A and B are shown apart, each in its own frame.
Chain A
């Protein structure tokens, strides 16, 4: 989907703003639930961007895992942990601008500053990849990473077993 120039750059800028806006929304909302939903939205925007960069497989993965699985985990955690009392929520809302007021200012400032900075890309461009299919890359080139992933998932499983399983005697 390599678009024409002005139209695409506009789209890109919009997407970037959308991404940063969603991230800021996730962080600044007083209610934790909205924060998780904000995270899902950020993930969705990232997926769109990935499609824009024609990396569909990663996009689907991102969507299903980061927009689906992780928010689910967070929501279950929130339900397990104690809900904020109403006056706690009111107090949180009042406090919101005090604690997070600085963020948008900082973001705008840094954004403007980065526009001025120009990092020279004065290096010889590396050769394009011969292997274009993700599946082959993943299986043949990134062999060892799969083993790593298996190991880390097993580790994660053990984490759940060790941390959450009821033990006969209290730890």
Chain B
């Protein structure tokens, strides 16, 4: 455990939390599907940062890097599928507005 771990953790902990906050805000309030996906990306950024910081502090940086790389690849796959879905929705409603995706209710 690095000596200056507490300071690092608290500083970057705040950074990660704020990034997650921004990401969730974007996902919740955006009316454009692509903005929602961008929000998702920001969330992923935050989490990746958290893993790297923890890895660095604990001295497991190699493991952290492996996790980060795997995480990034998985996110790519998810984003590709998400974009595919958004395009199909666009084909149907000719708009990428989140309000179109609200008719399954009750």
User: Contact: A70 with B76, CB < 8 Å?
Assistant: yes
**CB-contact partner of B95 in A80, A82, A131, under 8 A:** A82
User: Contact: B15 with A74, CB < 8 Å?
Assistant: no
CA–CA, A156 and B13, complex, Å = 32
CA–CA, A126 and B58, complex, Å = 7
Q: Is the interface of B mostly helix, strand, loop or mixed?
A: helix
User: Contact: A39 with B38, CB < 8 Å?
Assistant: yes
Please name all residues of chain A whose beta carbon is closer than 8 Å to the beta carbon of B29 when the two chains form the complex: 99-100
> Nearest-CB distance from A140 to chain B (Å)?
10
A69-B76, A106-B21 known; A138+B86 contact, CB < 8 A: no
> Nearest-CB distance from A22 to chain B (Å)?
9
Closest to B83 in A: A77
| A residues contacting the other copy or chain, number (CB 8 A) | 75
CA–CA, A81 and B95, complex, Å = 7
Within 8 A of A (CB), among B70-94: 70, 72-81, 83-88, 90, 94
Please name all residues of chain A whose beta carbon is closer than 8 Å to the beta carbon of B26 when the two chains form the complex: 26-27
CA–CA, A102 and B77, complex, Å = 32
Candidate in B65, B67, B83 with the most chain A CB atoms within 10 angstroms: B65
User: Contact: B17 with A114, CB < 8 Å?
Assistant: yes
Please name all residues of chain A whose beta carbon is closer than 8 Å to the beta carbon of B64 when the two chains form the complex: 55, 58
CA–CA, A128 and B56, complex, Å = 10
Q: Is the interface of A mostly helix, strand, loop or mixed?
A: helix
Within 8 A of B (CB), among A120-171: 121, 125-126, 128-129, 131-134, 136-138, 141-142, 145, 148-149, 152-153, 155-156, 159-160, 163-164
Closest to A118 in B: B10
- Confirm or deny: A73 has a beta carbon within 8 angstroms of a beta carbon on chain B: yes
A42-B42, A134-B62, A134-B65 known; A20+B80 contact, CB < 8 A: no
User: Contact: B90 with A141, CB < 8 Å?
Assistant: no
**CB-contact partner of A27 in B22, B84, B86, under 8 A:** B22
**CB-contact partner of B35 in A9, A35, A46, A82, under 8 A:** A35
A106-B21, A156-B76 known; A23+B69 contact, CB < 8 A: no
User: Contact: A115 with B14, CB < 8 Å?
Assistant: yes
Hey, which bits of chain B sit against chain A, CB under 8 A? 1, 4-15, 17-19, 21-23, 25-26, 29, 32, 34-35, 37-39, 41-42, 44-45, 48-49, 52-53, 55-56, 58-70, 72-81, 83-88, 90, 94-96
Report the 3 A-B pairs with minimum CB-CB distance, sorted nearest first.
A125-B1, A128-B59, A163-B84
In the complex, 8 of the A-B residue pairs with CB atoms within 8 angstroms, ordered by the A residue number, are A19-B49, A27-B23, A103-B22, A121-B9, A129-B59, A132-B62, A137-B63, A163-B84
